[in-house]
Structure 1
Amino acid sequence: MQQHARGDAMHNKLGEFIRLHRERIKPEDVGIPAHGRRRTPGLRREELAQLCAVSPTWLTWLEQGRPISASVKVLGKMAEVMSLTPSERAYLFRLADKLDPMLENQMDQGIACQTVDLEAIVDAINVPAYILNGQWDALAWNRPAQDLFVGWLDQPTSSGAEMRPNLLNFMFLEPRAHTLITDWSDRANRLVAEFRADCGKHADEEPLSGMIETLKRESNDFKRWWSSHHVVGRTGGARQFSHPTKGKLTFEQVTLSLSTRRGFKLVMLLNGNNSLK
């Protein structure tokens, strides 16, 4: 009952949001001559429906909050016709409980947010910190993280997307990970479960599917744990390392999602008396 009521409320909010923005559009801004006096401010429902290639009846039902589903294609067209800002577009898709394909494509390509300097974020942190995208490629990291993750973040990198240092590739294909990560088997097993939960239905889509197939082919451990379909959320907690020059190190891991980019994570390893200088 509570879930049904929540769904009705979301439909009502979606319909109200569309109606209010429809009424703010000047007909001439979308190529419709404003002849004579109009009883309704902005666009009429029939006009928005025509511009979005849907029926006026369907749009009426949507604005009335009826439990009908809008496709991502129609939502994208509405956002375009109504000249929604990026924040308004994101809100529209959230109200419709749909994933915006524009953001999905950006995530898949690992495009950094134009308004956020990822390097500046991690450089401002004085403990090991790095930022992962949806494929768990490291997009930015600071010097303490580079010093800690030998065999991963201390390696020469290329600007090409295919050459970004990937956390799963390091964990399963780099022999040094087995000695650096104190409890490698437990951590690697959990990492696969976290990744499965993170990528969800997109695991069957490129570039994730290709990466997963490569890991399954190159690592029996990854293949076995991936096939178990175990799923857990990405959480923090104690992380122990056996560093080749600094010895035993213990950190408290904290993972935060970046609100400006869906799927991006800031990972920090908080330390007490550890020193990577």
Structure 2
Amino acid sequence: MTAKTPLGDFLLARRSRLRPDDVGVDTYGERRRVPGLRREELALLAGVSASYYTRLEQGESASASAEVLDALAGALLLDESERRHLHDLARAGRGRRRRQRPAPERVSAATRQLLDVLGDVPAIVLGRRSDVLAWNRPGHALFAGHLDPDAPQLPRERPNMTRLVFLDPHVRELYADWPSKAAAAVGGLRLVAGRHPEDVAVHALVGELSAKSAEFASLWADHRIRACTVAEYEMRHPLVGSLTVTQQTLSSGPGPAVVVATTPPDSPSRAALTLLARATAHSGLPAGPVRAGARAGRE
């Protein structure tokens, strides 16, 4: 039987992916129709009754305590990000909050100052749904130089990095290991969907990408969680060629996050970024964060 709630979907997906050998369950050589754990086996590992776990997975119970959720997380071998996601899903199931469109996200003056002082370090500001709210000149050049530099300032035209990863051929070609970047994008979006179940824009984005990209739909159905605050990617830039950057997410709370791309000193990748900064310095774009200028009043 399939699950009926996001919590049940997550439990079912993780239970199905966990093999008996992973958790020391002896199968006594029996042949199984599916490789994952049975409900009864997971319930035993977590110290709950099989009937209760079945109701939880099938969406017929929303009363799981924090202690039960932690026990299930341990039985499923979840990491800390996955454990928090499990709690988020359970909390959302209990609250049954009505979906709504949240207030527009904005970039603070302090964040714009940070983009200024980063200088030639590529940086972009992302909202919680991965909408690009701002970028500095090198950030625009590195991540999406083919797009209008003013696009982040116009809410209806703002690029969305998850959408670009799956639907934009230029951005897809940027990443030598595109599957790794795609998995990170989906894993991060799933964390947001669990944390903000009322956000109608998140669900609209998931629906759009599921309809337009079979790869996204497959990754979304896998229920993997990835909180990628630091990740290394080899990029193939059309202006400066191959370089390897460390993408780091700088966040101090629930608001927009700054993503920067750094390279080791005295490395070919650092030289490539320097070359990119010099090339864009003569492109006519402003040296600091790209601002809306006269068009900002449209927000």
Q: Alpha-carbon deviation of 1:242?
A: 0.4
The 8 Å contact of residues 196 and 203 in structure 1, kept in 2 or not, is answered as: no
Output the CA distance in 1 between the equivalents of 2:257 and 2:146.
Answer: 17
Q: 2:107 aligns with which of 108, 112, 118?
A: 112
Q: 2:116 aligns with which of 100, 105, 123?
A: 123
1:131-185 Cα distance to aligned partner (Å, 9 max, x none): 1111111111111111112356555526442321110111011011221111111
Instruction: List, as ranges, runs of 4+ consecutive aligned residues in structure 1 with deviation greater than 3 Å.
Output: 105-108, 150-156
Q: Counterpart amino acid of 1:238?
A: E
Q: Alpha-carbon deviation of 1:201?
A: 3.9
Q: 1:240 aligns with which of 231, 234, 243?
A: 234
Q: 1:265 aligns with which of 252, 257, 265?
A: 257
Matching of residues 213-232 of structure 1 within 5 Å = 213-232=207-226
Q: Counterpart amino acid of 1:130?
A: I
TM-score, L = length of structure 1:
0.55
1:205-245 Cα distance to aligned partner (Å, 9 max, x none): 31111111111111111111111111121231322100112
Q: Counterpart amino acid of 1:271?
A: T
Q: Alpha-carbon deviation of 1:254?
A: 1.4
1:198–1:149: structure 2 CA closer, same or farther, 3 Å change rule? same
1:152–1:197: structure 2 CA closer, same or farther, 3 Å change rule? farther
The 8 Å contact of residues 252 and 271 in structure 1, kept in 2 or not, is answered as: yes
The question of 1:189 aligning with 2:189 is answered: no
Output the CA distance in 1 between the equivalents of 2:226 and 2:169.
Answer: 25
1:205–1:160: structure 2 CA closer, same or farther, 3 Å change rule? same
Output the CA distance in 1 between the equivalents of 2:228 and 2:106.
Answer: 22
Q: Counterpart amino acid of 1:231?
A: I
| Other-structure match for 1:148 | 142
Output the CA distance in 1 between the equivalents of 2:228 and 2:235.
Answer: 19
Output the CA distance in 2 between the equivalents of 1:141 and 1:166.
Answer: 13
Unpaired segments ≥5 residues, structure 2: 1-90, 92-99, 265-269, 279-299
The 8 Å contact of residues 122 and 142 in structure 1, kept in 2 or not, is answered as: yes
The 8 Å contact of residues 248 and 260 in structure 2, kept in 1 or not, is answered as: yes
1:166–1:239: structure 2 CA closer, same or farther, 3 Å change rule? same
TM-score, L = length of structure 2:
0.52
Output the CA distance in 2 between the equivalents of 1:182 and 1:229.
Answer: 24
Output the CA distance in 2 between the equivalents of 1:150 and 1:111.
Answer: 20
- Equivalent residue pairs, number: 172
Output the CA distance in 2 between the equivalents of 1:190 and 1:165.
Answer: 18
The question of 1:205 aligning with 2:199 is answered: yes
Unpaired segments ≥5 residues, structure 1: 1-96, 98-104
Secondary structure of the corresponding residue to residue 133 of structure 2: strand
Superposed CA RMSD in Å reads: 2.7
Q: What percent of counterpart residues are identical?
A: 29
* Higher relative contact order, chain-length normalized (CA < 8 Å, sep 6+): 2
Output the CA distance in 2 between the equivalents of 1:158 and 1:171.
Answer: 17
Q: 1:134 aligns with which of 128, 136, 142?
A: 128
1:152–1:204: structure 2 CA closer, same or farther, 3 Å change rule? farther
The 8 Å contact of residues 101 and 200 in structure 2, kept in 1 or not, is answered as: no
1:150–1:140: structure 2 CA closer, same or farther, 3 Å change rule? closer
| Other-structure match for 1:9 | none
Larger radius of gyration: 1
Matching of residues 50-199 of structure 1 within 5 Å = 108-113=103-108, 116-126=109-119, 127-150=121-144, 154=148, 157=151, 159-199=153-193
